[in-house]
Amino acid sequence: MAGMLPKLTPCLIFEAWGWRSPLFWDRNIEGIEMAHSLTALKRIRQNETRAAANRWRLRTMRDAIKNFDEQIVHGDVAKATEAFMTCQKVIDKTAQNGVIHKNQASRRKSRLSAKLLAKKKAK
């Protein structure tokens, strides 16, 4: 069948070493080569770990922003201010770890601050 990808099979050497990541699977599709050196394999493992940590940091930041937005819409000014402080801390940590750029962090905090100020003035 045209357009069908071949079934992926795990390489025996990596199965023996106990690595189950999809990045270690033998792909051989359109010239995609698998890592052959030990340092390249280590880089793949490190990249997986770091990507997982970055996904967690982004998810935490987005959850904090959603919580702040929820407090802006449904909460009072005190709860919104508390959520803003938490959100600001999480955004700074995310930028400090290099997950987002410092300018993006500044822009996000500025927009959240403007929302909080509008909420205070509306009251």
> Which one has a higher pLDDT value, 43 or 4?
43
State the pLDDT confidence band at 119, using cuts at 50, 70 and 90. very high
What sign has the CA pseudo-torsion 89, 93, 95, 96? positive
E strand residue ranges, 1-123: 9-10, 25-26
Q: Tens digit of pLDDT for each residue in 69-97?
A: 999 999 899 999 999 999 999 999 999 99
Question: Which helix (H) or strand (E) is 113 found in, with range?
Answer: helix 102-122
State the pLDDT confidence band at 113, using cuts at 50, 70 and 90. very high
The fold for domain 51-122 equals Methane Monooxygenase Hydroxylase; Chain G, domain 1 (1.20.58)
Prediction pTM value: 0.69
